[in-house]
A and B are shown apart, each in its own frame.
Chain A
Amino acid sequence: MKQIYWLIRRDILLELRQPQVISGIILHALGSVWIAYLAFKGIIPTNTWNSLLWIILLFSAVHSSNRAFGSDSGGRKLYYYTLADARHIILAKIIYNILLILTLSAITSMVFLLFNGNPILHPLRFILALLLASIGLAGILTFTSAIASQEARNFSLMAILSLPLTAPLLLLVIRLSTSAIQPTVASNLSAMVLALLLLDILCITLAWILFPYLWME
């Protein structure tokens, strides 16, 4: 347990020590929001804004998780391998990514809403969507980052692996946040939330079980 906390701390400290990386990602996300605003303003209805936001969030999440396993050099990886249990490492990375993606999504969403007015009628649902999406995305993307990092060559590999796997998660989340901007009562709201929660738990559990096999070098 203490190992996990220490590992998360290490990642956070590393991130803060090089603010230009995280700023780059935030800037990338905000840039997308800006371009989306310019391109689509007045043309598309509110529901489409919702989907657009989530696509932007997805891509910035993929972008940011890509570095989860790539930043350590080989020698340092061996050092950590001898120190920490593989399961702790993956759990720590996932939790770190949850925080990262959540922060990223929150900032992006707020700027998005700033530009497009705030159509959210049920803020709780939207926040829930952000939260569950971050957890699920972190789980899946940390896992695919671990896989893609084994092969230093291919940057697009991360995206290729991640996009199909995150599709159902995204679908559910978009539906949940659509219900946040509709005035009507969502019919199977609790089913959606439950499904999202289970999906998140499933992804994290799978990543947790499978990671040790990846970590063997």
Chain B
Amino acid sequence: MPKLKKDWWKITGGLLVAYSLIAGLSIHVPQLPIIYESIRNLFYHVSMWFTMTTMMATAFIFSIKYLRQPLAKTDTAAVQAAAVGLFFGFLGIVTGMMWANFTWGKPWTNDPQLNGAATAILVYLAYFVLRSSIDDQEKKARVSAVYNIFAFVLMLVFIGIMPRLAEHSIHPGKSGNPALGVKGLDPTMRLVFYPAVLGWIMIAFWIWKIRIRIKTIHQKIAEL
């Protein structure tokens, strides 16, 4: 494997996720009512959401970058980040539905966190519909950058602020901090959770980079 020096983070990402898979299933976890052992899903299901948000934030940053200096490669970076983010968002929703069906009895409930997540997915799906409806490259990039910025800020509102406003929610750790744990996160679980999130984010960035490169190859070929 040549050029290991600049690819170290990809290997690290893989190692971290592998670690989270092994450790996440082996360590002792607090047995909480209703969820019991399935609380291990925290390492995997919640990691998906953190990864999605990170990729969306990347798309947001590159959208802003594009508006300040319109370069085709900046636009490519922004779209691909949104695409990877959407992928992880789908994984999050699907794994969430599986988990919900197991613990709460049904795959979907009227919970603000779930609604916020679903809305976020819809918003970004609309982003891709928007892109596909504009033909002119420059206009496509500019308009979708504008929409992306608006959408990301509102997404932060949906998934961050709305759940906190909710009066009651069955999502673990709600009515207060929607992201983490029950009585803060158990320290042993923290040892697996943080590396897991970090690992998945690195993998997501890797996928993102590859997608950008493939897209760039397509563009160069089209110019020939």
| Residue on B nearest A210 in the bound complex, by CB | B146
Q: Distance (Å) between the CB of B113 and the closest chain A CB?
A: 12
Contact status B151-A165, CB under 8 Å: yes
B residues less than 8 Å from A49 (CB atoms): none
- Considering the chains assembled together, what is the distance between the CA atoms of A214 and B118 in angstroms? 27
Contact status B147-A147, CB under 8 Å: yes
B161 on the A face (CB < 8 A): yes
B residues less than 8 Å from A147 (CB atoms): 130, 143, 146-147
- Considering the chains assembled together, what is the distance between the CA atoms of A69 and B67 in angstroms? 22
Contact status B165-A188, CB under 8 Å: yes
How many chain-B residues does the 8 Å CB contact rule pick out?
Answer: 28
B133 on the A face (CB < 8 A): yes
Contact status A143-B129, CB under 8 Å: no
- Considering the chains assembled together, what is the distance between the CA atoms of A150 and B130 in angstroms? 11
A167 on the B face (CB < 8 A): yes
A121 on the B face (CB < 8 A): no
Chain A, interface SS category: helix
B73 on the A face (CB < 8 A): no
| Residue on A nearest B159 in the bound complex, by CB | A168
Contact status B157-A199, CB under 8 Å: yes
Q: Mark A141-171, 1 if CB is under 8 A from B, else 0.
A: 0010001001101100100110111011001
A192 on the B face (CB < 8 A): yes
Q: Provided the pairs A150-B134, A168-B154, A199-B157 are in contact, do residues A157 and B165 lie with their beta carbons within 8 angstroms?
A: no
A interface residue count range (under 10 / 10 to 19 / 20 to 34 / 35 or more): 20 to 34
A213 on the B face (CB < 8 A): yes
Contact of B133 among A151, A188, A210 (CB under 8 A): A151
Contact status A157-B154, CB under 8 Å: no
If A161-B126, A165-B126 are given as contacts, then 8 extra A-B residue pairs at C-beta distance below 8 Å, sorted by A number, are A147-B146, A150-B134, A150-B143, A160-B126, A161-B129, A161-B130, A168-B158, A195-B165
Chain B interfacial positions (CB closer than 8 Å to A): 67, 115-116, 119, 122-123, 126, 129-130, 133-134, 139, 142-143, 145-147, 149-151, 153-154, 157-158, 161-162, 165, 167
26 contacts between A and B (CB under 8 A): A147-B130, A147-B143, A150-B139, A151-B134, A153-B133, A154-B133, A157-B129, A157-B130, A160-B130, A163-B122, A164-B122, A165-B150, A165-B151, A167-B119, A168-B119, A168-B154, A171-B115, A172-B162, A188-B167, A191-B165, A195-B161, A207-B150, A210-B149, A213-B142, A213-B146, A214-B146
